[in-house]
């Protein structure tokens, strides 16, 4: 699935994202193999036009053809598409609850068998 950043704004929340700095190009350059992972100081890759103030990052994009908007606090770890919560998981990550129920049921039946015997 393709991850595409449509618009990324680094902004001072006191004045709103419409007055922020467009960092779409900088953030898009960080995408590797359809994953955007950045865990560092934002000012290393973004220009800081609001020095000394707390900032936020707004990302508008598409993943797998579906639009999303995601907000991050200043220097918060970015991990897209995992932050969207809809990434494909391995079968054992999806079914661990079902496996736990089956194992618990089998254990209960075995226990009941020995109690009633």
Note the pTM of the prediction, 2 decimals. 0.70
- The tens place of each residue's pLDDT in the chain, 117 residues long, gives 789 999 999 999 999 989 899 999 999 999 998 899 988 788 788 888 888 889 999 999 999 889 999 999 999 999 998 888 765 655 555 566 777 788 888 999 999 888 887
3-state per-residue secondary structure call for the chain: CCEEEEEEEEECCCCCHHHCEECHHHHHCCEECCEEEECCCHHHCCCCCCCCCCCEEEEEEEECCEEEEEEEECCCCEEECHHHCCCCCCHHHHCHHHHHHHHHHHHHHHHHHHHHC
* Tokens 């606090």, located at residue: 73
């Amino acid at each position: 699935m393709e991850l595409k950043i449509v618009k990324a704004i680094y902004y001072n929340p006191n004045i709103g994202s419409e007055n922020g700095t467009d960092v779409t190009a900088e953030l898009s350059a960080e995408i590797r193999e359809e994953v955007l992972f950045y865990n560092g100081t934002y000012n290393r890759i973004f220009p800081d036009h609001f020095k000394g103030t707390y900032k936020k990052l707004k990302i508008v994009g598409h993943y797998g053809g579906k639009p999303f908007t995601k907000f991050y606090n200043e220097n918060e770890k970015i991990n897209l598409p995992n932050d969207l919560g809809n990434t494909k998981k391995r079968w054992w990550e999806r079914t661990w609850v079902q496996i736990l129920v089956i194992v618990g049921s089998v254990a209960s039946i075995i226990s009941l068998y020995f109690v009633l015997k």
